[in-house]
Chains A and B, each alone.
Chain A
Amino acid sequence: MTDAIVAERLGVRYGDVRALADVTARIRTGEITGLVGVNGSGKSSMLAAVLERVPHEGTVRILGRTPAEARRAGLVASVPQAETVDWDFPVTVRDVVTTGRYGRMGLLRIPRAADRAAVDEALALLGIADLADRQIGELSGGQRKRAFVARAIAQDAELLLLDEPFAGVDRTSEAQITEVLRGIRAQGRTVVIVHHDLSGVAELADSVLLLRGRLLHHGPPAETLTPERIAAAFGAGTREER
């Protein structure tokens, strides 16, 4: 089967600051892959480079296509970090989820019956149907994350990229998002997730990329998250991020 992401010598720099260097990796289709490392280890930069949101070195293929082709075909869904979202923005939860369907709509982005049904289904799947008409900022941290995951579900993408979906999230939301991600994997789709909790990622992911400005190791969680490798990734004696 075609790999979900093939990265060759991927690198990102912001001005003089190098965020990521020389990552060569194949992320398999139908798996959940975790990106693990300290703050500033290049996890978010890796996601940005895969989507070609930032200038990068090296090449990326998504499901055998160039990133631009994959984006236009609606194959990739992206769930942003909470800190990058303006929660005061005048949109409702339903508005946000509906934007997942924009790639399928005409120029005016008027939802058809199928789009509305997909949005309702995604809202129900994440348990936020009753919150659909709230302004997005009126939700709790976990509910906000669920809204963005619902958008990815409504998009019906083949590859989901999630940046810290469990940061600042309550237990109910975490369980619900986890269940949804496993459901996506069961459909043969691919999930790549930036994760801050080592035990959580060991439980959820099929494989882990351990990053520290470059790729330290890529393999199954048990093989990757050994005490030595964790020490190398997080610095002497520090196991948790921050």
Chain B
Amino acid sequence: MDPGLLDALLAPFAYDFMLRAILVTLVAAVACALLSTWLVQMGWSLMGDAVSHSVLPGVALAYILGLPFAVGAAVFGIGAVALIGGVRAASRIKADAAIGVVFTTLFALGLVIVSVTPAQTDLQHILFGNVLGVSDADIAQVLIVGAIVCATLVVLRRDLTLVAFDPGHAHAIGLRPRLLHAVLLGALALTVVTALQAVGIILVVAMLVIPGATASLIAVRWDALLAWSVGITVAASMVGLIAAFWMDISPGGAVVLTQGLAFGLALLFGPRRGLVIRWARARRHAVDGG
């Protein structure tokens, strides 16, 4: 490799703030990528959007009360899920409408709470991330929460996958689908806490959807799906952060943009359902048939 290029790639690692940014982003990205595989396969992407926005009032209140963000986010994330279920049961409106009503209302509540708190500048950090300025306490929180989420998901991955694929069979053999759904939603609320440090509330949903969606264009087995999802997100995070360092652009924006580009590549060239493969198959079919 050209030594100049190598220096350029390694330069960001010489700065403490970049190392911290890389650590936080990678931990958050891996937790999101694992969770992403189930959210995408179960059709829960909108739920990821909803929970990530709904934690804003929790984060704001935690800030005011001097509690860890994770506590406020978990309470409001899980509360939002319960509220969505309650609204559906009470009104019989469709699921997407119930989700839309609940999360936008909670997000608005968060904006109002933030607007009456003295330190308003933090709103920018919560909405768009502040990965270049994370404190030691933030890092500790991301590492602990990220480790809990990743360990839970890895240990329960086969049960979670079974419940996503065939909840009837899972139930028939004595598993508890509702409990496992609750585990996933709890993991979702906690994961949002880690990811909003890295990319901010607005872009968390990207971290929760793009890796799993990209991997599903490539892998046909679940463990491979997890590996691709994590691998893509780690690569995209590194590329995004290094690009952000050199081009002086938003790190969260750069990471998500890189993930989006990875999805585009998988859509074109993915071995499972890529457009190029399908085009080649159709063409071969036409030639064979003619």
- Contact (Cβ within 8 A) B221 A76: no
Provide the B69-106 mask, 1 if CB < 8 A to any CB of A, else 0. Answer: 00000000000000000000000000000000000000
- The answer to whether B161 and A91 touch across the interface, beta carbons within 8 angstroms, is yes
Does A113 make an interface contact (CB < 8 A)? no
Q: Indicate the member of B161, B168, B173, B221 with the most A CB atoms within 10 Å.
A: B173
| Complex partner residue of A90 from B41, B173, B174, B175, CB under 8 angstroms | B41
Contacts of A71 in B (CB 8 A): 171-174
Q: Is the CB of A89 within 8 A of B173?
A: no
Interface SS majority for chain B: helix
B→A interface (CB under 8 Å): 41, 155, 158-159, 161-162, 164-166, 168-169, 171-175, 216, 219-222, 224-225
How many cross-chain pairs have Cβ atoms below 8 Å apart between A and B? 75
Indicate the member of B172, B220, B224 with the most A CB atoms within 10 Å.
Answer: B172
A68 and B225 alpha carbons, distance in the complex (Å): 33
The 5 closest A-B pairs by CB, nearest first: A109-B158, A72-B174, A78-B172, A135-B220, A71-B174
A90 & B162 in contact (Cβ 8 Å cutoff): no
| A-side interface size class | 20 to 34
Residues on the B chain within 8 Å of A135, using CB? 220
Q: Are A102 and B168 in contact, with the CB atoms below 8 A?
A: no
Contact residues in A for B221 (Cβ distance below 8 Å) = 90-92, 95
| 22 sampled A-B residue pairs with Cβ under 8 A | A51-B171, A53-B171, A53-B172, A71-B173, A78-B168, A78-B172, A80-B166, A80-B168, A80-B169, A86-B41, A89-B41, A90-B221, A90-B225, A91-B161, A91-B221, A95-B221, A99-B166, A100-B173, A102-B159, A102-B175, A108-B155, A161-B172
Q: Is the CB of B41 within 8 A of A74?
A: no
A1 within 8 A of B: no
Which B residues touch A155, using CB under 8 A? Answer: 173
Report the separation of the CA atoms of residues A96 and B168 in the bound assembly, to the nearest whole angstrom.
13
Contact A84 B168 (CB under 8 A): yes
Min CB–CB distance A104 → chain B (angstroms): 9
> CA A51 – CA B177 in complex, angstroms?
13
Known: A91-B161, A102-B173. 7 other contacts (CB 8 A): A53-B171, A77-B169, A78-B172, A90-B220, A91-B221, A99-B166, A103-B174
Beta-carbon nearest neighbor of B42 in chain A: A86
Q: Is the CB of B174 within 8 A of A74?
A: yes
Residues of B contacting A114 in the complex (Cβ-Cβ under 8 angstroms): none
CB within 8 Å for A151 and B169 given contacts A74-B174, A108-B158? yes
Contact (Cβ within 8 A) B220 A78: no
Q: How far is the CA of A162 from the CA of B252 in the complex (A)?
A: 50
Chain A residues within 8 Å of B222, by CB: 90-91, 95
A106-149: contact bitstring with B at CB < 8 Å (1 yes, 0 no)?
A: 01110000000000000000000000000100000000000000
Once the chains are docked, how many angstroms separate the CA of A135 from the CA of B224? 13
Closest-by-CB residue of B relative to A134 is: B220
What is the CA–CA distance of A194 and B164 in the complex, to the nearest angstrom?
Answer: 24
Measured in the bound complex, the distance between the Cα atoms of B172 and A53 in whole Å is 8
In this complex, what residue of A is CB-closest to B220?
Answer: A135
Q: How far is the CA of A174 from the CA of B219 in the complex (A)?
A: 31
Q: Which of A56-93 contact B (CB under 8 A)?
A: 68, 71-74, 76-78, 80, 84-86, 89-92
Q: Which of chain A's residues have a CB closer than 8 A to the CB of B220?
A: 90, 92, 135
